[in-house]
Every structure is written in structure tokens, then in C-alpha cells.
A and B are shown apart, each in its own frame.
Chain A
């Protein structure tokens, strides 16, 4: 029987299905971080049980870490306690921790792929919704809550109902100045922030295939913003070339065996999806959000919608959103003054993102009244950027290169955007208060964010490209 990519992986990992209930899904790799695990470890300690498969568990500290002076103790007491609890729990349970000060530390969804831990055909979970990122390798990867973290720590399994299946095809060649972030913001603007709820989403088509691994991760990262249970892209030569030689990638004979299996992991030609969308890459322009959910995006040259022109899904929320954002219906977003630029997060903090920004800003200066934070996704990305001299380009442009962490994506650590200020951000959520109470977030690609850093206003980056 013809199967989708999702079904091939799912079926292989279902240990049993409870009558009238969910399936017991075996998890190959469990990533953990400091925020969503302390209660899970407490629960296990109460039951007197240890982590069942510590070697399949990988920990890092990312959400609470400061992004300057990481060699000093974390100033904020509660955040520090969570990081300390993680250190203690990992030590007691024999879990490898890539913590602060370690060469592999970084955002959990950046380090998994760069260490070669994330591989095609795997089931991967983490107590973090952006676990969907890892699906870019042709894996089933999804975010879970803390009770589920406890289940996986205790039994390497989680109870899940099989989602419906969706495929989103993007065909054609991308326009100049349009990158993977624009693709995903465009899809979101078309299907809405709840358009994929209940579905596993496979991204396919020639425009997706043409993307690098890191660009693919940006797309799968934001599949949760559509409500998707997970996002996947079938593995191909791009995937295999990316993984080969990485720290934890299979080597020698194990590589050949793995590769032969990975090559079978694609949706069969006549496999059925419950829902399918088709988009033309040529229709996509640099995107930006104007509202308070990631589906509220427009092309950078378009006007903010009005209650008459907006889609049904966001109609009722438009007034509240725009009041929060301090923006008006029907006016151009281009030219909107911005105060902060944040280039980072599990969506866009990888070396290619930093290279893209550096290539664009080389020889340019930031606008004098804008603060620009570049936050690499991991120690390895930071090291690579310094080796390539990217740090010097940022310094010359007046950008601040900080240290790895989730930073200003989520208003949890020290890096927050002040109330009322506009931040053009390469992160994934523009919810009210996401980057700090009262902060106003405009989501965009690293290129569009870099253009705004130079001009101080929302800019069509295409006008600045040769």
C-alpha cells in the first residue's frame, strides 16, 4: 500500500495502539532543556525511577541563559535555579548536558542538527513547540508538554493519536530577495495560524527541494505556527551531504546502512493526503507581519489589511491586534519606523543566516537610532562566524554580536524589547508580549531584518540588492 513519508516513520515506531485511544509511540531522541523539565524530573524522583534511556536523551540550557558575559553566574535568580536544576538532574540521571561554557551549547533546535544527532526517519520530541524544526531531515519531530517529557524520560515512549496528513507544495523559482522565511510566512498568511492544526505537514515541491538544510529548518520550525503537529521534508542528497561527517552521524558501514534506509523515506507517488495546498514560488515576495499572530503577514510592499479585505480567520482579531501594535488598517507597512532588530532564535540563527546578513551589510552602517542584536544559535555557529570574519563585519556596521541562546525570542531571559518599541525580528512569534511586555514584533527574514537595521524603517530589501 502506498504510504506517505509520515506514515512510513510513524508505523515503524508504533509499539501498540490502545483500543479507542492513542498509540504508544517509541521515541528515538529526546532533547531536553531547563524550562520544561524540572517538574518532570521531580515526578520521576517521587516515583523513584531513573531516566530509562539516558543515551537517547540530550540536554542543553538555552531559554534562560544570558547572551552577554556567559562566563558569569546568571543574575536572575529563578532562571539560574532552573539551569542549576538541569545540571543536577542530568548528573543524577546520567544524561549528557551541553550546558553553558561547553563547546556544543546552544539552542536545542540548532545543536541537534549541527551535531548530526537529528537524522532522517527518527522520532524526536522535546518540551518545546519548535521541535518541529528537526522534521526538515525527514523525521517526525514534535513539541510536547512536561507530563509527556516525564513519560519519555521514564519509558522512551509517548502516547499520541495519529494526526491527519497535509502536503504543502511550493513549485517554481524564488524571486530575488526572497528566502525560506518568506516562504513560510507566505504560507502562514494564506492558511492562517490554525490552518494546519491536527495535521502533520509535509513540505514538498521544487522550491522546497532547492533549499539548503538550514533554510528547510526555518520552514519546518514554523509549521507549529500553522498549528501543525509537525512538519517534514523528505531527505535527499542535500540532507545526506549535510549530515555526513558530523559528530554523531553514523560512520563507515553504519553510514551505508543508514543511507540505504533513508533513501526509502519519501511519500510514495500515489500516497494519499487528507489535505493538499499548492503555491507558486513566483507569487512570494519578502514578507513581514503586522499583527499579533504569525498568520498576520503581508508582502513588504502591501498595505495592512482592513476589516473589509482581511481573511475571515483574523477578521475579529484585527482591531485588537492593530491597537496593540499601534498600526492602522489600510496603510503601507513599508516605511514603518523600527527601534530594535533581533536576528536570532531557533528559526534563523544558523551560520547561513549570519552569512546572509553579513553579506548584505558589509560596508553599510546601521541607522543611528536602531539597536541591532545578532544572537548565534550555538557556540559552534558563533565560532564559525568569528573564523569567517563575520563578527568584524557586524562590528563595523554597529551590530552587536551576542552569545548563543534563545535571547529576545521569548521575553524570558534578560534580553527583552521594551514596551511600545518596534522590533523587526527573525524569530517565530509576534504574540502580544512575546518579546517582552508591550513589545511590538514584526516577523521577517534575516535579509529584510538586515535592511531595516540599515534604514531604520521597514524596507523592501530588493531595492537595496544589486
Chain B
């Protein structure tokens, strides 16, 4: 059972880079866990540290800049492209993020995020740039019930899409496996039509 999600108001971490692929979010050499926990410490590993050395954080990377914090990650378009590794969603969630905002998400990442209580919010390019233009103390409110994202300082807002089923799951912390297990009879009936 995932965490329930209704509304979050938070500062945000701006990652104004396009085409962030899942190999950047978490490099393959850190996919060796057999549980879902602990991936956060390697989030954006090679952008965060010089020469893979945790004692040498790169000062120019946002996750190393103390002025940025919050439960919302804001990224430029085509976020999460590449590998299907769910570890990318785990690493982001494990780092304390509950929402990722972008103007465009890769398909598999979006599903993986939704399956882990991490809400992907797709906004227009224009609105995305407005968020990036905010200062580091600005907050953003994401209201899943109303499917609305608001820049709190200016009151500017936009609605976002999420299918009703996934919305219900996120609001209640349900997961897809519970649902699929509940319709097993339908699945068996379907299989019987195949032979």
C-alpha cells in the first residue's frame, strides 16, 4: 500500500535540464539492490559527485545547493526517458520527493512513478518556465483532488491530467496488484476463451 496523496504545498528543487534519462537519475551500477529501499543516496549520483566520490559534491548541482529544498522536483521536458528501471522512481521517492513536475514525461517512468505514490504532474512549457522563474523560497501547491498546480506567490495555476482510476489509487493509497487480484475470475474466464 502506497502513501495516500491529496495536497502538497512545498518549496521545489529546479532541475532545468531536458531529456533527463533514467541512467542519470540512477546509474546502472546502483541497481543491485533486492529491496526497494535505499536508492535515494545514489539519486543523480554522477551529477552530484566528482569522480564518484561522496566527499566531493559538485557545487553547481541543485541537489547540493542548500538554498533548494522541498518535496517537489521540477524538471525540463522529456523527463525519465530511457531505461524502464523502477529504481529511478524509487530513488526520487526515497529522497523525499512526492511530486515531479515537467512539461513532458517518458511513458514508462510515468507509470513507475504512479505505482510508487510519486505524482507526475505534466504542465505546459509556459507554466514550467514560470515555475523555474520563481525564487528559491517560492512554494508550489499541488492539489490532486482538483488536479490543479498553483504557484503560491502569484496565484497562477494550471490543471493537469490524470486518469480517474490512477487518481483514486493515489488518493487512497491503493495499488494495481490489489485490483488485478480482485478480478482474477475475469482473467481465468478470458484464458478459457483462448483454447
Contact = CB atoms under 8 A, between A and B. Distances in A.
A150 B175 CA distance: 11
Contact of A151 (B28, B87, B177, B191): B177
Interface residues of B, number: 53
Interface in B11-49: 17-19, 21, 23-24, 27-29, 31-36, 46
A240 B182 CA distance: 38
Nearest to B163: A21
Contact of A161 (B32, B87, B163): B163
A320 interface: yes
User: Majority SS of interface residues in chain A?
Assistant: loop
Contacts, number: 181
Given A39-B36, A227-B106, A26 B187 contact: yes
Nearest to A412: B28
Given A20-B163, A145-B111, A411-B29, A42 B34 contact: yes
B82 A316 contact: no
A64 B184 CA distance: 34
B108 A145 contact: yes
B115 interface: yes
Which of B24, B34, B46, B87 has most A Cβ within 10 Å? Answer: B34
Contacts of B87: 146
A47 B181 CA distance: 11
B165 A26 contact: no
B81 interface: yes
Interface stretch (A77-85, A361-369, A453-461): A77-85
Nearest to A153: B177
A317 interface: yes
A157 B187 contact: yes
B141 interface: no
A435 to B, nearest CB: 10
A409 to B, nearest CB: 9
Interface string A192-226: 01100110000000000000000000000000110
B104 interface: yes
A207 to B, nearest CB: 26
B132 to A, nearest CB: 12
A19 interface: yes
Interface string A29-56: 0000001101100110001010000000
Interface of B: 17-19, 21, 23-24, 27-29, 31-36, 46, 51-52, 76-78, 81-87, 89, 104, 106-108, 111-112, 115-116, 163-166, 175-177, 179-181, 183-184, 186-187, 190-191
30 contacts: A15-B186, A39-B86, A42-B35, A47-B177, A47-B181, A49-B181, A64-B32, A82-B32, A129-B83, A131-B84, A144-B108, A145-B84, A145-B111, A148-B112, A151-B177, A155-B180, A193-B81, A194-B106, A224-B82, A227-B78, A227-B107, A293-B81, A314-B19, A317-B18, A429-B21, A431-B24, A433-B27, A434-B28, A437-B51, A437-B52
